């Protein structure tokens, strides 16, 4: 789950490192006997910065997860960062778009927490909650845009909420093409339908070069769609037998 191939490597890598406590948080640096007074940048009342604090329990991470996870029904009252990720990844997505959202959002959010922390700590950039939400939205919607050609609209958080709430009906599509029959054979394609009790159908017969050999329509009185389709097919087969076409 950590590695989502459609997201930038750096985002997945930060989650992988955080889960293994391989991130240079203040607490981690102190463990290496390097003098490092730990004062997190994420809270009103600064605390020791370790992975769980930075990515979960600190003011900033907590508010961010709460905002981002709310529309997805994620419980953020968790004591561990790992548990938040698990909660996201165990969501049963009803369609492929939501599947991408619930897989990618926790990774993009983790990255944004780390990016914000570093920008604030080393670049003196003010922490901007709305900016973080925008950047997370952009990252995950970019994945969806790359995956689904018909994606339209902006890359806002409202768009994420919209995609999560609307019941998109996905149908798997595959291209069907007409293939020529072998030499000395013809191919019959027929169809029929029934509307308001009146049935009709038709068909075309083409040779191995794809050229039209015969076309026909059939009329049948009252019936069903199945009857109309069967009659159209039967008419075509009878014609083929009559003129000794295979």
According to DSSP, the residues that pair with 220 across neighbouring strands are 199
Q: Which helix (H) or strand (E) holds 215?
A: strand 212-220
Nearer to Zn ion, 42 or 102 (CB): 42
**Exposure pattern of 184-209 as b/e (b: 16+ CB <10 Å)?**
eebbbebebebeeeebbbbbbbbbee
Residue 137 beta carbon to Zn ion: minimum distance, rounded to whole angstroms: 24
- Measured from the CB atom, is 63 or 83 closer to Zn ion? 63
Out of 7, 18, 42, 186, point to the residue binding Zn ion (CB under 5 A): 42
51, 58, 68, 206: which one binds Zn ion (CB under 5 A): 58
Cα separation, 169 vs 171, in Å, equals 6
Selected binder of Zn ion within 19, 29, 43, 119 (CB under 5 A): 43
Q: In this chain, which stretch among 41-49, 92-100, 190-198, 224-232 interacts with Zn ion, using CB under 5 A?
A: 41-49
Residue 120 binds Zn ion, judged by CB under 5 A: no
Residue 40 binds Zn ion (CB under 5 A) = yes
Rounded to whole angstroms, how far apart are CA atoms 29 and 142?
Answer: 35
CB of 71 to Zn ion, least distance (A): 25
Reading the block at residue 51, the tokens are 């992975």
Which of residues 42 and 140 has its CB atom nearest to Zn ion in the complex?
42
Nearest distance in Å: CB 74, Zn ion: 21
Give bridge partners of residue 191 from the DSSP assignment. 202
Report whether 102 contacts 89 (CB < 8 A): yes
Stretch near Zn ion under the rule CB under 5 A, chosen from 38-46, 157-165, 185-193, 228-236: 38-46
8 A C-beta contact, residue 108 and residue 8: no
Contacting positions for Zn ion (CB under 5 A): 40, 42-43, 47, 58
């Amino acid at each position: 789950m950590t590695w989502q191939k459609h997201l930038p490597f750096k985002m997945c890598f930060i989650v992988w490192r955080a889960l293994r406590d391989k991130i240079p948080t203040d607490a981690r640096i102190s463990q290496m006997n390097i003098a490092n007074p730990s004062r997190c940048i994420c809270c009103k009342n600064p605390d020791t910065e370790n992975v769980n604090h930075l990515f979960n329990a600190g003011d900033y991470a907590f508010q961010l997860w709460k905002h981002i996870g709310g529309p997805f029904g994620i419980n953020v009252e968790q004591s561990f960062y790992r548990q938040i990720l698990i909660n996201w990844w165990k969501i049963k997505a009803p369609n492929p778009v939501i599947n991408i959202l619930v897989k990618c959002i926790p990774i993009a959010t983790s990255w944004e927490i780390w990016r914000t922390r570093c920008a604030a700590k080393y670049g003196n950039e003010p922490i901007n909650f709305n900016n973080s939400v925008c950047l997370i939205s952009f990252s995950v919607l970019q994945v969806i845009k790359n995956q689904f050609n018909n994606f339209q609209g902006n890359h806002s958080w409202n768009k994420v909420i919209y995609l999560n709430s609307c019941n998109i009906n996905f149908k798997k599509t595959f291209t069907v093409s007409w293939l020529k029959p072998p030499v000395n054979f013809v191919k019959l394609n027929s169809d029929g339908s029934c509307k308001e009790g009146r049935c009709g159908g038709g068909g075309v017969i083409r040779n191995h070069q794809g050229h039209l050999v015969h076309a026909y329509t059939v009329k049948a009185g009252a019936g069903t769609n199945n009857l109309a389709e069967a009659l159209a097919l039967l008419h075509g087969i009878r014609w083929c037998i009559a003129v000794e076409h295979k």
